[in-house]
Amino acid sequence: MKQESSLMNQDKKVSWFKQNYVALTTIWIKECTRFLRIWVQTLVPPAITMSLYFVIFGNLIGNRIGEMGGFTYMEFIVPGLIMMSVITNSYANVSSSFFSAKFQRNIEELLVSPVPTSVIILGYVGGGVARAILIGIIVTLVSLFFVDVQIHHLGIIALTLVLTATLFATAGLINAVFAKTFDDISVVPTFVLTPLTYLGGVFYSLTLLPEFWQWVSKANPVVYMVNGFRYGFLGVSDVPVTFSLSLLVIFNVVLFGIAYYLLKTGKGIRS
């Protein structure tokens, strides 16, 4: 009897895992299909925008600036530009997708289903991460036309990329939960993400700033993402890499907890 009961419990666990796996992959595939179907709007614009950055800031201005941190200016800004595209696209993908589902009342079908809240979050965030990684690859390939990309530590590059994409995809989901109209989706990218990325050390080293402004800049979380990513390419960073990765893990845990609480309680969704 005990053996039969144990086997039944084991079968239930396997069945539960399979059901949740199917739910997770279904949401993830749906999210990936969504941005791949409109690839002209989701994948092409970042490539064009980054090409303009490479031409203007890299070739035209970079030749006048010279070296930055022992590297050519073009080599120095490439990791930051890739990270900038990863941040904006991971955030935009989830915020627009989740708000659309919320606006059309599709999300309610998921919330009343037996699918765990964590699976719903991971499915949407996974779609944002997939788009961010694809955009990161495209921008990296574009950069090869302008500079020889170096790779110092591939593991740091991959880890920073995934953690950053996950962080901003989760933040995009939280923004979508609180958003009341489509205009609310653009508020955070315009007034928060854009200033943080431009002041996050993408185009300059913190060592060029006076000591006071170096400390002020270190309050910007994007600084740690950009520098961690840059270390993976060039082997140089203005901040400790281990601290950057630890900070990313902490931020991810905190934001996931917030997103879980919001969906579990239905705040911003149930009226």
Q: For residues 17 and 163, which has the higher predicted lDDT (pLDDT)?
A: 163
pLDDT of 194-223, one tens digit each? Answer: 899 988 988 888 988 888 889 999 999 999
Domain locations in the chain? 2-265
Residue-wise pLDDT for 243-264, tens only, equals: 999 999 999 999 999 999 999 8
Over 90: is that where the pLDDT of 9 sits? Answer: no
Other residues' Cβ atoms within 10 Å of the Cβ of residue 127: 25
d(CA 80, CA 202): 4
- pLDDT for position 15: 67
* pLDDT score of 241: 94
DSSP code of 59? Answer: I
Does residue 266 surpass a pLDDT of 90?
Answer: no
How much is the average pLDDT of 82-98? 94
Report, as an integer, the average pLDDT of 95-116.
85
Can you list the positions of beta strands (E) in the chain? 67-68, 71-72
Least confident of 32-36, 60-64, 169-173: 60-64
Residue 248 near residue 228 (C-beta atoms within 8 A): yes
The confidence band for 2, taking pLDDT boundaries of 50, 70 and 90, is very low
- Of residues 230 and 112, which shows the higher confidence score? 230
> pTM value?
0.90
